[in-house]
Amino acid sequence: MASQGGYAEAQKLVSFALSPTSALVIQKGDITKWSVDGSSDATVNPANERMLGGGGADGAIHRAAGPELLEACYKVPEVRPGIRCPTGEARITPGFRLPASHVIHTVGPIYDADSNPQASLKNAYRNSLMVAKEKKLQYVAFPAISCGVYGYPYDEAAMIAISTIKESSDGLKEVHFVLFSDDIYNAWLSKAKELLQQ
């Protein structure tokens, strides 16, 4: 584990090696401000199945990206009436006015309504990483998918998020978690120490 000074201190940024060529970075902050590279990076949007915006991080991402993002979302084909991205799947659009060049939209489970929320949350992370790799992106930032409106318990979500990234990050340089609140940041950091430190 290496913690860096300056900006890193302010963002409480901590990084963990996943392999000799890839790292997991955990930081506090606002995901709408995040970028690393500007041409090969993506912000993950915790969307809903309609994929036309909403509250929470989804609303903030749409406001920061501008109305072009909603136009791009409308162009994503529906797989069933009104549904562009079923739970656990992922779709990609440009990032428009966001600092990151792309947005990967994924849909996590509604904790109390999903028959297998663990599998759905794992799929949301795994399919987001797969989409990033298909586009040859190098840097991806996730918020705590399903941990807001969708009600997923933080500790359980942290375990699934970090273990899935550990299994599926080959080919990416850095996977970031940009976490809004202290309690979620602390849950992620303690789970990363448990799962990633030798």
Q: What beta strand segments (E) does 40-170 contain?
A: 41-46, 90-94, 102-106, 139-142
- The verdict on 66 binding ligand AR6 (CB under 6 A) reads no
β-bridge mates for residue 27, sequence order: 178
Identified catalytic residue from 41, 58, 112, 183:
58
Q: Is 106 in the site for ligand AR6 (CB under 6 A)?
A: no
Give the pair of three-digit tokens for residue 108.
């996590």
> Applying CB under 6 A, does 31 fall inside the site for ligand AR6?
yes
Q: Does 95 bind ligand AR6 (CB under 6 A)?
A: no
- 170 classed as catalytic: no
Distances (CA, A) of 120 to 58, 84, 144: 18, 16, 14
* 3-11, 54-62, 71-79, 163-171 -> range binding ligand AR6 (CB under 6 A): 54-62
Please select the residue that binds ligand AR6; options are 14, 42, 57, 92, rule is CB under 6 A.
Answer: 57
Looking at the Cβ atoms of 58 and 174, the one nearer to ligand AR6 is 58
Q: Is 54 in the site for ligand AR6 (CB under 6 A)?
A: yes
Q: Cα–Cα distance between 179 and 154 in angstroms, integer?
A: 11
User: What φ, ψ does residue 41 adopt, rounded to 5°?
Assistant: -125, 160
Q: Looking at the chain, which runs of residues are DSSP E strands?
A: 2-3, 14-19, 22-28, 41-46, 90-94, 102-106, 139-142, 174-179
How many chain residues are in contact with ligand AR6, going by CB under 6 A?
25
What residue ranges bind ligand AR6 (CB under 6 A)? Answer: 30-32, 46-48, 54-58, 60, 108, 143-150, 178, 180-181, 184
